[in-house]
Amino acid sequence: DVFMFSLGNTQIVHVTQPEMVREITTCTSLDLGKPTYQARERGSLLGNGILTSNGPFWAHQRKILAPELYMEKVKGMINLVQDSALTLLSSWNDQIEAEGGIADIKIDPYMRSFSGDVISKACFGSNFSKGKKIFFKLRALQQASSKTVLSTGIPGARYIPSKNNREIWGLEKEIKALILKIVKEKRREEASATSENKDLLQMVLEGATIEMTTQNAIDTFIVDNCKNIYLAGYETTAVAATWCLMLLAANPIWQQHVRDEVMQICKGHEAPDADMIRQMKQLTMVINESLRLYPPVAVISREAVKDMKFGEINVPKSVNIWTLVTTLHTDPKIWGTDSYKFNPERFANGIRGACKFPQVYMPFGVGPRVCLGQNLAMVELKILISLILTKFSFTISSKYVHSPALNLVIEPGHGVYLSLRKL
């Protein structure tokens, strides 16, 4: 349940004991933060944004961003989520017709395009064409950064001008320039924006000027948080949708169950609204089970800023604490003997009824550092999957090779291919 290991000069305590996990993840003290190596080793990708920062600086960022992603604000984004989903459906429809009624489609890029479109419109008030370049380059940066995982903790490894590091440095420069270009355009529009129609980028701009004194610090604050929002809101939702559709394709009985429920709730409507989404119990169970088996984030990690104590364990300053989400999500002692099987029925009575220790179910993290975008992510998943189910039936394509891979998020190593036909 508890053991220690090292990555280079980074000391890590691994914890899966449920009570200790709860104590660590719900700890509100600013003395427990995100690992400093993340900002150091993943600086090009994450900088010192909300995902990696600590202490009062993190609290300031959270205060700016959190209210923009409360459920009431998310309800106002439902139309743009519907629009983005209908664009995807139309594209698949054309492909199926062109291929004579059934098409083998690699769904991953479509899921990314959908979530990228949503996050770009919701947070930056721009359409996907403006954000497309940034997404493309961030994806390349993410892949380049994931290659450096094994050198984490090796002093100076990130300064060596290797081919991979040079690629990282180049992408970092380009992404910064692209984000600051959008910021410049946004500042021109700023004067005409009322408090009602401010988007997330405008809130970040205001937060930067409150906290920072130099232009360089303001730019860094904006770029880091834009990258964090893109990565947190784009990659994780896309990969969650991909895994969920794969599991529905592999389990036709559940696919039909959920389709029947959606058809019943949405009859006569082109797309579900907030009230309809709330009624989709079977779909919620399927999404929860999919996130249990394939949580986008593999590890919840923390670092003691000062000497701390959890349970009977003393954690010295600078020591990291890791909790492997996938291990906790599939532990037979917590979930029962079918812990590795797809069984949405386990969530029939919600998360509390699904397992012995509800605190170990953490697809969005837990405690003060819980994912701010979880409401938006769930709305996106429900709207997209419900719409796909009303228009298409699908099975796993013979081209699909099951190979989950850790590329900062847990994603299909070779993509997910589905055979789709129109209903």
Q: What is the CATH number of domain 16-26+70-299+323-422?
A: 1.10.630.10
Give the pLDDT band (50/70/90) at residue 128: low
For 117, other C-beta atoms within 10 Å of its C-beta total 24
State what percent of residues in the chain have pLDDT above 90.
58
Residue appearing with tokens 């012995």: 356
pLDDT score recorded for residue 394: 99
pLDDT score of 196 = 57
151 has pLDDT over 60: no
For residue 303, how many other CB atoms are within 10 A of its CB?
23
Average pLDDT, integer, range 96-117: 95
**Residues 121-152 as b or e (16 or more Cβ within 10 Å = b):** bbbbbbebebbeebbebbbbbbebbbebeebb
Residue 45 confidence (pLDDT): 83
Which residue reads 């993290």 in tokens?
365
For a pLDDT cut of 70, what percent of the chain falls above it?
94
* Strands across the sheet containing 417-422: 102-106, 417-422, 392-396
Q: For residue range 15-71, what is the model confidence (pLDDT) as tens digits?
A: 999 999 999 988 999 999 999 887 777 778 888 999 999 999 999 889 888 888 889
68-72, 175-179, 230-234, 267-271: the lowest-pLDDT one? 230-234
pLDDT the model gives residue 47? 87
Statement: residue 419 has pLDDT above 80: yes
247 band by pLDDT with thresholds 50, 70 and 90: very high
329 contacts 295 by C-beta, under 8 angstroms: yes
**Residue 371 counted as an annotated binding residue:** yes
The pLDDT value given to residue 8: 82
pTM: 0.89
Mean of pLDDT values over 315-340: 95
